[in-house]
Structure 1
């Protein structure tokens, strides 16, 4: 059985076929753009898990539209036989492997990311020291917005080599930590109780999740970590600021002194 040449794989495209192809591509593009605009807008009208579930549908829906468009386009361009498909995909795969290795790897990683969901729209992730909220999952990159409102595009290729830290993993809440450094001469039980009360009285607190105060003794003082969950992950920085400001005021009223880091003398 002879292997067909690349030119023999394709149909001669008439005017009617070209119009069909343009219609398929235009319709697929319109559906993708509509989904990427409409669903995030609807998600912003919701809260909690409903918002995150709706955001997570966007990349899945886009992938489904692309696959459907591809399945409609290929039979109109190529004679859909097993021999032709093997020859076409082998040629395209070989070209991509040599000419666009990193780009193709990012595309494959993007498909894996849509399936395995190491991050979803609305998740707060950290990749290679960059932390922010996932706002868009493209075919090649994931787009996040940092706390400083910087928009960063990270290739999916990173998931092959770098650890991905996901703070909420599809949940509307994530754990926040406020740190306090106190002089070692104080009543630790009273300080711990005060910090727990500070968390309980925060307007941002999600009451269904636990509050925890951990205590670590250091050579220069005592390190307290107040851990709690806000109602919505987008409130995390306001929540941490609220815990820090009111926690510091409550500890000051308790008469606790704060630790001072020792100054290392220069040699």
Structure 2
């Protein structure tokens, strides 16, 4: 009976020897982590080029290896290394890991769905929860987006389940750009509309086989004009918008048309990065 009880027990009796081993393991682990982290960072800061970033990449990996080694030493001291106990421990560990990695698995499944439905593909310009840019790589777990500020953002595929995916060109070369102008209400609207259309029509970035539309909207503080047109290449969108904005301001100034004056505290409607 005593043997069965001893076999069924999960934890060992913690005596002075076990406490010494656990204490030495804990102190050694802390010291090794501190030394390795500072040592690798010190070494990386004295290197240059790609080698510097490779050494920096070893910092979290080294810390993980030290922690795993410490667990391998400490667990047999605390837990009786029997088959039953190992099955119990591995089952609890598997349950914890499964719960912790549920979002990871969800992203992998969403990655399979994205490969079939193609909500984005390399070369698309997308907006996912405020992150706008060009899709550079579609992996199994994430989609990599390069923003206009040259940041590379990894967005998990699980955003497919509950977020709107805004795709500006959807696998094609046509991407609509919008340049906005806010004018004083006292002006000849037809003249302004024609002038703004000519601004887009004379741009070096214009894609001529797509329509040019000038949209006007009357507001309490003035008139809001939008030039909707398409650049030759989606990557030229910001150059195209800047070109239309700069030359449009000059044309309107030459026509003697004043910009709108917003009352204190007034705010323009929010727009996305493409000016829509």
Tell me, yes or no, whether TM beats 0.5: yes
Equivalent residue number for residue 173 of structure 1: 174
Shift of 1:97: 5.3
- Structure 2: how far apart are the matches of 1:109 and 1:119? 12
Deviations 1:160-207 (A, max 9, x none): 011110111011120000000000000000000000000000000000
- Structure 1: how far apart are the matches of 2:227 and 2:170? 21
Shift of 1:264: 3.3
2:260 paired with 1:240 = no
2:112 paired with 1:116 = no
Alignment partner of 1:168: what SS? Answer: coil
Alignment partner of 2:149: what SS? Answer: coil
Equivalent residue number for residue 139 of structure 1: 140
- Structure 2: how far apart are the matches of 1:192 and 1:209? 18
The one of the two structures with greater contact order (alpha-carbon pairs below 8 A, sep at least 6) is 1
Equivalent residue number for residue 193 of structure 1: 194
Alignment of 1:1-267 (within 5 A): 98=99, 100-264=101-265
Note closer, same or farther for the CA distance 1:99–1:264 as it changes in structure 2 (3 Å cut): closer
Shift of 1:100: 2.2
Unaligned runs of 5+ in 1: 1-93
Shift of 1:101: 1.2
Alignment partner of 2:126: what SS? Answer: strand
- Structure 1: how far apart are the matches of 2:98 and 2:212? 51
Alignment partner of 1:222: what SS? Answer: strand
Q: Give TM-score, length-normalised by structure 2.
A: 0.60
Shift of 1:261: 1.3
Shift of 1:260: 1.5
Deviations 1:233-256 (A, max 9, x none): 000000000000001101111111
Deviations 1:66-122 (A, max 9, x none): xxxxxxxxxxxxxxxxxxxxxxxxxxxx97854521111100100110110000100
- Structure 1: how far apart are the matches of 2:249 and 2:261? 14
- Structure 2: how far apart are the matches of 1:111 and 1:258? 50
Note closer, same or farther for the CA distance 1:264–1:105 as it changes in structure 2 (3 Å cut): closer
CA RMSD between the two structures: 1.7
Moved over 6 A (4+): none
Unaligned runs of 5+ in 2: 1-93, 267-276
Alignment partner of 1:165: what SS? Answer: strand
The number of residue pairs the alignment matches comes to 173
Alignment partner of 1:227: what SS? Answer: strand
Alignment partner of 2:119: what SS? Answer: coil
Deviations 1:41-85 (A, max 9, x none): xxxxxxxxxxxxxxxxxxxxxxxxxxxxxxxxxxxxxxxxxxxxx
